[in-house]
Structure 1
Amino acid sequence: MSKQSDEMESTRSDRVNSLAKGLQVLLAFGRRHTPMTISEVAKEVSLTPASARRMLLTLVDLGYVDQTGKRFSVGPRVLDLGYSYLASKPIWQLTQPVLERFSDAHHVSAAAAVLDGCDALYTIRANSHQPIQVMVSTGTRLPAHITAMGRVLLAALPPQRLDEVISQIKFDSPTERSVANAQELRTILADIRRDGYSIVDEELAFGLRAVAVPLRNRAGEVVASINACGTLRSLEISDLRERVLPALQLAAQEIRMHLAD
C-alpha cells in the first residue's frame, strides 16, 4: 500500500462522523432560512429522526441551536464560528479598512470573497452607499460563474481543479445575459487570466454590474478577490473601467504589501 493510500485510510479512520453530521445540521438551517422540526431536519440531512433529535438537543445544550416548542433555529452562538475564522486570518483584518476607504472614496459597494466549491463566499462587506438588488453580507454564497469575484477565483485555479469545479456547476440563467455553458465560461476565464480583472454586467441580476480583481499574497498566489459593484444607473460601464477599476487594483496592491507570503 502506498504512502498516499495509507494517509487516505488514516484520514477516514480518524473522521468523527457525528461531528460531521452536527455541522451538516447547522448548515441545513442556512439553506432553509426558517425554523425546522426534528423530522424536517432529519430529511434535510439524511438522518433518522432519533439521530436528528440527539444532534439537535446536543446543539441546543451547547448554545448553537435555539428551541421553541417543536421547532429549532440557529442560535446566536454560531456567530462565534464565523468570527473565529475572520479573526484568525490577518488578511481580513487588513482588507476591511482598505475596502471601507475605497467604498467611501468612490461611492460604490465593495466586498471580498473566497472560493468554496462552486460558490463565491463573501467574507467582507464594506459600507454600501447605494441600494443593491442582490443583498449580500458576510457568509453569503453566490454562484461563482456569474459573479465577478467568483470568476477571478475560478480563473486562478489549476487546470485539473478547474475542470472538477466546472463539472459541478449548474448553468442556470438568472438573466438572459448569464453565461450559458462550460465552453463559454472557459473563454471568459481565459480573458480574465490575460487581463487581470473581471467585469460582470447584468448576469447575476438585472440592473447590476460589478468589477473584481484578484487579491494576491507576496508570493503571487491568489488568496481571495475584491470587487466594486453598483447599479447601471449609478455606475456607467465607462466609469467602472476608467475610474473604479484602477482604484480597485491599487486597493489590492495596498493589501498585498502587508500580507505575508
Structure 2
Amino acid sequence: MWCSTGLWVGTRFPALVTCQGKVLLAALSAEKVLEVLAEPSRSGLPVDTLAPNQIDDILAETRERGWALADQDLAPGIRSIAVPVRDGRGVVRAAMNVARATVSPGRNALSLRLASYE
C-alpha cells in the first residue's frame, strides 16, 4: 500500500504533535521546555493547548521509554516513532523517525518490536 503525506524536507510542525519533537523536548530541562513552548509556532498551524501536567506526562513517558510515538497526532492514518540521536557524550543532538500507515502493524505491535531491540 502506498501512502503519501505530501510533506517536504524542512516542513515545520508544532513540536508536541510530532514524535521527533517529543524526543527533542524530552531531552531538555523543564525550564527550557517551557521556554521553547512559549515561543510562537513557526509552522503556521494551530497549536493545541495542553495543560502543563499533560506536557510533563508526555515528556516523562518519552524519557522513560527512550523513544516517542505519534499515533495520528499529526495526521489521520499516520503513526510514527522516533528515537534520539546522541553524540559521543550522550547528548541528544537530533531525532530520527519512521512513519507508517495505521493499517500496518498496530500501536502495540510497534511498541513490542521496538522493545525487543532494547
TM-score (norm 2): 0.81
Query: Which residue identity lines up with residue 194 of structure 1 in the other structure?
Result: E
Residues in 2 aligned to 1:191 and 1:238: alpha-carbon distance in whole angstroms: 15
1:239 to 2:109 alignment: yes
The secondary structure found in structure 2 opposite 1:199 is: strand
C-alpha RMSD over aligned residues: 2.3
Pair 1:209–1:191, CA change in 2 (3 A): same
Query: Which residue identity lines up with residue 226 of structure 1 in the other structure?
Result: M
Deviations along 1:17-75, one digit per CA (max 9) or x if unpaired, are xxxxxxxxxxxxxxxxxxxxxxxxxxxxxxxxxxxxxxxxxxxxxxxxxxxxxxxxxxx
Deviation at 1:201, TM superposition (A): 0.8
Residues in 2 aligned to 1:136 and 1:231: alpha-carbon distance in whole angstroms: 15
Determine the structure 1 residue equivalent to 2:47: 172
1:135 to 2:10 alignment: no
- The one of 22, 26, 34 equivalent to 1:151 is 22
Query: Which residue identity lines up with residue 172 of structure 1 in the other structure?
Result: V
Does the CA contact (< 8 Å) of 1:215 and 1:222 recur in 2?
yes
- The one of 62, 65, 71 equivalent to 1:201 is 71
Query: Which residue identity lines up with residue 39 of structure 2 in the other structure?
Result: Q
Residues in 2 aligned to 1:159 and 1:181: alpha-carbon distance in whole angstroms: 15
Deviation at 1:130, TM superposition (A): 3.4
Does the CA contact (< 8 Å) of 1:166 and 1:182 recur in 2?
no
Residues in 1 aligned to 2:40 and 2:61: alpha-carbon distance in whole angstroms: 20
* Greater mean alpha carbon deviation, residues 187-196 or residues 135-144: 135-144
The secondary structure found in structure 1 opposite 2:13 is: strand
Residues in 2 aligned to 1:169 and 1:212: alpha-carbon distance in whole angstroms: 24
Query: Which residue identity lines up with residue 96 of structure 2 in the other structure?
Result: I
Pair 1:188–1:131, CA change in 2 (3 A): same
Deviation at 1:161, TM superposition (A): 1.7
Number of residue pairs aligned between Structure 1 and Structure 2: 113
Does the CA contact (< 8 Å) of 1:149 and 1:198 recur in 2?
yes
Deviations along 1:153-203, one digit per CA (max 9) or x if unpaired, are 011112322111122256634xxxxxx414212210111112111111111
Higher-RCO chain (CA-CA 8 Å, sequence separation at least 6) = 2
The secondary structure found in structure 1 opposite 2:2 is: coil
The secondary structure found in structure 2 opposite 1:153 is: helix
Residues in 2 aligned to 1:136 and 1:235: alpha-carbon distance in whole angstroms: 22
| Structure whose residues are more often helix by fraction | 1
